[in-house]
Amino acid sequence: MAAGAVVGLGGGAAQAVTTRRKYAATEAVVAYVQDPEANVVHLMVGDREVIVEDHELVARILNAAGGH
């Protein structure tokens, strides 16, 4: 069973950080938005789950996935 963590990012997607920090993930990451209205992204990182509450990140993911 994957361990979970809840992370709140102030400033919307960590203020659109473009450089990776020293503690950034170094393995594959899968993002999952179960309910677009909840503004929550589930990140599967190896055998862990990280839950991020961030309206702007959800909007950016949904816009990117729209394909239109």
Report whether pLDDT(28) > 70: yes
Residues contacting residue 42 through CB under 8 Å, at least 6 positions apart: 31, 32, 33, 34, 49, 50, 51, 52
What average pLDDT score do residues 10-28 get? 73
pLDDT band at residue 13 using 50, 70 and 90 as cut-offs: very low
What would the two tokens of residue 60 be?
A: 């950016």
At 32-68, the pLDDT tens digits run 999 999 999 999 999 999 999 999 999 999 999 996 6
